[in-house]
């Protein structure tokens, strides 16, 4: 159909008059703060280094499978727990999904305290912030951030915090049949260990003897460093990323991860990590050890 020129002109004028009457701008490709009362500027906003996925409603990187889980910061759920006074705990890993240990965060408020773990249960505490006082027999020991304490099974030692503290706690039912003993220390004072072909720095916070059925490793990676071994092993892991960011491969999934993320790895889940970003990665990781894989 051919529209005569004078009709086209009239049509254009009518559109202009109508939009002026509504006080609206014509919405084109140029971003405008207001377009008919709406703001479409996000469509053409300057390229950002990344979208803030974590603040998108309902979005989370958290995932839970039979052989691994990622628990991102926004997925933690805190509640009170028997044995812990004025403290909130968020359980990240537990036997509820087949793990042979529990891993939880404890947020201790002013004048808070913890009773000893249940009989037969050993407990390892890493102080992440604030200060706790451990009553070990007749001795009181003050532990600040980056220090740790291990309570063997059936220990009667307690701990309290006057001004609050943030803790990572590992617990398990003792299964090694030896004589593990109370110990405590500072992460940085723990010796660096040989790592074979691996380039990361490694510390083990518990003695490497058959008296212990798990150990807690601190692993440091410079940006760009990654696990040499594409690991598959019978041991279980509970990991908390303390600093940095990178990519964690778990089974056939590849997860972008950042400080604050927690990971559960079941026996034999393929696992691999690469540290990325501008700053180093540090993570703390539980690993059951010295137990006979045949007997569990």
Q: Which residues bind ligand UGY (CB under 6 A)?
A: 217, 219, 231, 237, 271, 285, 287
- 20 — phi, psi (to 5°)? -65, -40
Instruction: Report the residue number, 151 or 248, with the smaller CB distance to Mn ion.
Output: 248
CB of 208 to ligand UGY, least distance (A): 12
Is 231 a binding residue for Mn ion by CB under 5 A? The answer is: yes
Instruction: Report the residue number, 67 or 231, with the smaller CB distance to Mn ion.
Output: 231
**Nearest to residue 289, comparing CAs of 237, 228, 231?**
237
Under a CB-based contact definition with an 8 Å cutoff, are residues 281 and 220 in contact? yes
CB of 211 to ligand UGY, least distance (A): 19
CB of 233 to Mn ion, least distance (A): 6
CB of 96 to ligand UGY, least distance (A): 22
Instruction: Report the residue number, 125 or 239, with the smaller CB distance to ligand UGY.
Output: 239
CB of 141 to Mn ion, least distance (A): 31
Under a CB-based contact definition with an 8 Å cutoff, are residues 168 and 76 in contact? no
Is 186 a binding residue for Mn ion by CB under 5 A? The answer is: no
Instruction: Report the residue number, 106 or 216, with the smaller CB distance to ligand UGY.
Output: 216
Which residue is it, tokens 């359980």?
Answer: 91
Would you call 170 helix, strand, or coil by DSSP?
strand
Is 198 a binding residue for Mn ion by CB under 5 A? The answer is: no
Residues in Cβ contact with 179 at an 8 Å cutoff, skipping those fewer than 6 apart = 152, 211
Tokens encoding 179: 């004589």
List b or e across 77-105, with b for residues whose CB sees 16 or more CB atoms inside 10 angstroms: eeeeeeebbebbbbbbbeeeeebbbbbbb
By CB under 5 A, the residues from 26 to 85 that bind Mn ion are none
Under a CB-based contact definition with an 8 Å cutoff, are residues 281 and 221 in contact? yes
Which residues contribute to the site for Mn ion (CB under 5 A)? 231
């Amino acid at each position: 159909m051919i529209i005569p020129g004078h009709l086209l002109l009239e049509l254009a004028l009518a559109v202009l008059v109508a939009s002026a009457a509504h006080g609206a701008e014509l919405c084109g490709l140029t971003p405008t703060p207001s377009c008919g009362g709406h703001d479409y500027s996000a469509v053409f906003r300057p390229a950002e280094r990344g979208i803030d996925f974590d603040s998108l409603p309902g979005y989370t990187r958290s995932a839970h499978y039979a052989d691994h889980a990622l628990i991102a910061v926004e997925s933690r759920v805190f509640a009170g727990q028997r044995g812990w006074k004025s403290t909130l705990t968020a359980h990240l890993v537990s036997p509820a999904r087949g793990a042979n240990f529990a891993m939880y965060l404890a947020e201790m408020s002013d004048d808070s305290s913890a009773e000893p773990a249940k009989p037969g249960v050993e407990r390892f505490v890493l102080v992440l912030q604030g200060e706790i006082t451990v009553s070990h027999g007749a001795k009181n020991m003050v532990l600040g951030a980056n220090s740790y304490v291990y309570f063997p099974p059936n220990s009667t030692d307690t701990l309290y915090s006057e001004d609050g503290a943030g803790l990572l706690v590992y617990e398990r039912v003792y299964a090694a049949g030896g004589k593990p003993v109370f110990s405590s220390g500072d992460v940085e004072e723990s010796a660096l260990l040989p790592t074979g072909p691996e380039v990361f720095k490694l510390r083990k916070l518990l003695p490497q003897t058959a008296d212990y059925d798990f150990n807690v490793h601190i692993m440091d990676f410079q940006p760009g460093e990654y696990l040499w071994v594409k690991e598959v092993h019978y041991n279980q892991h509970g990991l908390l990323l303390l600093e940095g960011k990178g990519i964690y491969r778990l089974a056939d999934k590849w997860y972008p991860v950042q400080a604050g993320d927690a990971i559960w790895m079941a026996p034999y889940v393929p696992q691999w990590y690469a540290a990325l970003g501008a700053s180093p990665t540090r993570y703390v990781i539980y690993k059951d050890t010295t137990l006979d894989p045949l007997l569990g």
